[in-house]
Amino acid sequence: MKQQWEEVLIKTDDSGTQQGIAPVIISASTATDIPAFHSRWFINHLEKEHIRWENRFSPTNPKYISLKNVRLIVFWARNSAPIIPVFRNYREQKPKFLFPTYTK
């Protein structure tokens, strides 16, 4: 059975709207280490309540992801230390954040 996410209209930064999805769980940082290198970018989008995601193999077809239904974001990162102090302000808010530990 294929999972279907709620489809929503997202207000974009340029005062327009885009069709997007509203998942419950996001698996992030599989291609880019967001906690180590892009924590400020992520927090800015967390506050905007949406993310514009571009597939690096198809950058002309961006996807819009609403954070309104997100309960958990899993960060697959080798170095989560840079983002931990930033998340202290969000400890009691949704979504929750999970940092699995990498082992070799």
Question: Number of structural domains, the chain?
Answer: 1
What pLDDT, on a 0 to 100 scale, did the predictor assign at position 90? 67
Residue 50 within any structural domain of the chain: yes
In a domain? residue 22: yes
Of the candidates 66, 64, 68, 65, which has an alpha carbon nearest to the alpha carbon of residue 94?
68
For residue 104, being part of any structural domain is answered with no
Range of the domain at 20: 6-98
* Cβ count near 20 (within 10 Å): 23
Describe the chain by its helix, strand, coil percentages, rounded to 5. 20, 35, 45
State the pLDDT at residue 19.
93
What's the confidence (pLDDT) of residue 55?
Answer: 79
In a domain, 81, yes or no: yes
Residue 103 has a pLDDT of 57
pLDDT in tens, the chain (104 residues): 566 888 999 988 888 899 999 999 998 877 788 888 888 888 888 888 899 888 778 778 888 999 989 999 998 888 888 888 877 776 666 788 888 876 55
